[in-house]
């Protein structure tokens, strides 16, 4: 009917700057190619760095109803979105929940998301901090890496990447937050965000060999975080 689902590659933003390749800029051409009568709207899409499901609609009413459904579903404690991630490291527990407050913090010229383990009532009320929750399950593990199923109960920018660092298992290709997880003699530990400058993800030689990558190619490794499933009403 009015709905169209696509598979977005990593690195493609939904909204781009003028002249930049983006999903929104491609929608008119997509509409013409598919011969659709109505203008397309984005209902749900993963962040720029992620890959996976994009849900489009050719009906304003359907767009509004579905967006309202996704918001209400999270409030009711449901998990309408399911992601898959490849992580560097295997969580200690096969399944569980990650709960923490998240907020924006300025570091130099960029703003990053940092965890707030015990957010105060005032900061939550003023919306300086948001209480967040992600449910995870390990689907498989090999070579020091894991395939995880992730179901966010809340929506906050970079929530899944930051939550994975709290598991000491950053997503493969996470060049934004993976530096917060350090290793000494094979043991992983969490670094304070201010002590972990943003940099290209560091992988050991064995994993680089398994991926068939050189150290110079690492900066082009995409984020292995994929929106795999959306539950619709």
Do 194 and 110 lie in a common domain? Answer: yes
Note the pLDDT tens digit of each residue in 26-75: 999 999 999 998 899 999 999 999 999 999 999 999 999 999 999 899 88
Neighbours of 229 (CB within 10 A): 15
pLDDT at 166 exceeding the cut of 80: yes
For residues 90 and 60, state if they share a domain. no
Task: Please tell me whether residues 126 and 213 are part of one structural domain.
Answer: yes
Domain CATH number, residue 9: 3.30.70
Q: Of 32, 60, 78, at which residue does a domain stop?
A: 78
Residues 28 and 90 in one domain: no
Same domain, 155 and 222: yes
pLDDT one-digit tens code per residue, 167-217: 999 999 999 999 999 988 888 999 998 888 889 999 999 999 999 999 899
pLDDT of residue 65: 94
pLDDT (0 to 100) of residue 184: 86
Find the mean pLDDT for residues 84-98.
Answer: 97
The last residue of a domain, from among 78, 95, 115:
78
21 and 45, same domain (yes or no): yes
Res 186: pLDDT: 80
- The tally of domains found in the chain comes to 2
- Predicted pLDDT at 16: 82
Distance of CA 189 to the CA centre of its chain: 22
- Quick one: how many helices (H) and strands (E) in the chain? 5, 11
What pTM does this model have? 0.93
Strand 3-8 to 145-152 pairing? unpaired
Those residues with Cβ within 8 angstroms of residue 118's Cβ, 6 or more apart along the chain or in another chain? 101
Instruction: Give the burial class of 88: count Cβ atoms within 10 A of its Cβ; 0-12 exposed, 13-18 middle, 19 or more buried.
Output: buried
Tell whether 50 and 92 lie within a shared domain. Answer: no
Query: Mean pLDDT over all residues of the chain?
Result: 93
The answer to whether 70 and 233 have CB atoms below 8 angstroms apart is no
- Pair 114, 214 in one domain: yes
**DSSP track, 44-109:** E---TT-EEEEEEES-HHHHHHHHHHHHHHHHTT---EEEEEEEES--SSSEEEEEEEEEEEEETT
pLDDT band at 20 (very low <50, low <70, confident <90, very high): confident
Q: CB neighbours of 72 closer than 8 A, spacing ≥ 6?
A: none
Residue 45: phi and psi, rounded to 5, are: -155, 145
Residues 161 and 125 in one domain: yes
Residue 233: per-residue pLDDT: 82
Q: Is the pLDDT of residue 1 over 80?
A: no
Q: What is the pLDDT of residue 132?
A: 95
Cβ atoms of 136 and 97 closer than 8 Å: yes
Specify whether 23 is located in the same domain as 133.
no
Closest CA to 164 of 182, 173, 153, 177: 177
Domain encompassing residue 43: 3-78
């Amino acid at each position: 009917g009015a709905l169209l689902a696509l598979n977005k590659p990593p690195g493609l933003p939904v909204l781009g700057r003028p002249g930049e390749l983006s999903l929104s800029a491609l929608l008119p051409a997509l509409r013409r190619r598919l011969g659709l009568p109505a203008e397309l709207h984005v209902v749900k899409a993963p962040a720029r760095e992620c890959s996976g499901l994009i849900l489009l609609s050719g009906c304003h009413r359907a767009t509004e109803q579905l967006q309202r459904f996704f918001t209400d579903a999270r409030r009711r404690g449901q998990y309408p979105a399911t992601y898959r991630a490849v992580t560097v490291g295997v969580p200690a527990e096969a399944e569980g929940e990650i709960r923490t407050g998240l907020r924006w913090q300025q570091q130099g010229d960029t703003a990053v998301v940092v965890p707030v383990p015990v957010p105060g009532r005032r900061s939550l009320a003023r919306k300086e901090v948001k209480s967040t929750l992600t449910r995870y399950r390990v689907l498989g593990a090999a070579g020091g890496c894991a395939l995880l199923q992730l179901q966010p109960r809340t929506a906050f920018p970079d929530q899944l990447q930051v939550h994975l660092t709290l598991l000491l298992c950053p997503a493969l290709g996470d060049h934004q937050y993976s530096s917060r997880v350090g290793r000494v003699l094979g043991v992983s530990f969490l670094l304070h965000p201010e002590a972990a400058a943003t940099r290209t993800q560091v992988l050991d030689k064995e994993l680089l060999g398994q991926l068939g990558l050189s150290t110079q190619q690492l900066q082009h490794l995409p984020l292995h975080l994929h929106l795999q499933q959306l539950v619709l009403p």
